[in-house]
Amino acid sequence: MKEVFKRTGALTDAPFHYCPGCTHGIIHRLVAENLEELNLLGKAIGVTPVGCAGFCQQYFNIDMQGAAHGRAPAVATGIKRALPDRFVFTYQGDGDLASIGIAEVMHAAARGENITTIFVNNAIYGMTGGQMAPTTLPGQKTSTSPFGREPSVAGYPLDMPKIIAQIQGAAYVASVSVDSPKNVLQAKKAIRQAFEYQLAGRGFTFVSVLSTCPTNWGMSPVKALEWLRENMMKNYTLGVLKDAAAQ
């Protein structure tokens, strides 16, 4: 019998703690499959954020460091400068990266730091229970924007991949979604491209993945995917936003 799918050896046996319908699990698998397919398990070092993915050192079957909130790109910089021939990536949520850690990611990109950042954007703070993030959409209700995000008070969302794509040191920037099988495959391809660029020493690579948070959005998993398509995919630029090698 032909084996068409198997668990990747880049993930441990620890069961995910993520809520039902959360897409972190899919994104973990895509990162892990790429690590395995590129034969990186022995040379990869991952850096985790603070937030829902703050426990992901339990899941990736590689060396991992847990950074302070938002500081993962600085920590990854330290690792990569210490061990330039190793493969280094950060895995960060939108509160971690786009709010408290915006300086760290922007300057890692500006330095052309030869690392990869996987950015998971679900438009909300998940771990602390659904507060407004810098990526929360106008009108979106959260526990700290209970009447909906009002731009005159709380400003506008940041489109991180669009911002990072403008930085010269960024070699590859893609914005993907994992809401459908087709998009999952595209997301995997984007992560693969970013990883390969790092291996080729091209500079900073960044893959933004739109994600759901059914628990804090107050929706069923299916409804959450619909909301993502109807709202997030309209507000956030999708596609390969920068490819320095192709230009």
Between the alpha carbon of residue 122 and those of residues 10, 71, 95, 105, 229, the distances in Å are 24, 19, 9, 18, 12
Separation CA 73–CA 51 (nearest Å): 15
Question: Could you tell me the smallest distance in angstroms from the CB atom of residue 100 to other proteins?
Answer: 10
- Find, among 50, 8, 54, the residue nearest to 31 by Cα: 8
Work out which of 7, 14, 37, 83 binds other proteins, going by CB under 8 A: 83
Work out which of 25, 38, 63, 112 binds other proteins, going by CB under 8 A: 63
Rule CB under 8 A: is residue 71 a binding residue for other proteins? yes
Per DSSP, the three-state class of 147 is coil
Residues 8, 29 contacting (CB under 8 angstroms):
yes
| CB nearer to other proteins: pick between 61 and 175 | 61
| CB nearer to other proteins: pick between 127 and 238 | 127
104-123 binders of other proteins (CB under 8 A) = 104, 106-107, 111
- Find, among 106, 95, 45, 107, the residue nearest to 70 by Cα: 95
Backbone Cα Rg of the chain = 17
Work out which of 8, 57, 92, 216 binds other proteins, going by CB under 8 A: 57
Return the sign of the alpha-carbon dihedral for residues 82, 28, 195, 38.
Answer: positive
Work out which of 2, 3, 13, 42 binds other proteins, going by CB under 8 A: 42
Separation CA 106–CA 98 (nearest Å): 10
| CB nearer to other proteins: pick between 41 and 238 | 41
Residues 127, 54 contacting (CB under 8 angstroms):
yes
Work out which of 31, 35, 74, 170 binds other proteins, going by CB under 8 A: 74
Work out which of 44, 98, 109, 171 binds other proteins, going by CB under 8 A: 44
Question: Could you tell me the smallest distance in angstroms from the CB atom of residue 104 to other proteins?
Answer: 6
Q: Which span (78-86, 136-144, 172-180, 193-201) binds other proteins, by CB under 8 A?
A: 78-86
Work out which of 77, 121, 193, 216 binds other proteins, going by CB under 8 A: 77
- Find, among 241, 100, 87, 237, the residue nearest to 164 by Cα: 241
Residues 172, 243 contacting (CB under 8 angstroms):
yes
Question: Could you tell me the smallest distance in angstroms from the CB atom of residue 176 to other proteins?
Answer: 27
Rule CB under 8 A: is residue 18 a binding residue for other proteins? no
Burial 125-149 (b: 16+ CB within 10 A, else e): bbbeebbbbbbbbeebbbeebeeeb
Question: Could you tell me the smallest distance in angstroms from the CB atom of residue 246 to other proteins?
Answer: 29
Work out which of 19, 25, 36, 55 binds other proteins, going by CB under 8 A: 55
Which residues are at the interface with other proteins (CB under 8 A)?
A: 41-45, 47-48, 50, 54-55, 57, 61-68, 71, 74-83, 86-87, 103-104, 106-107, 111
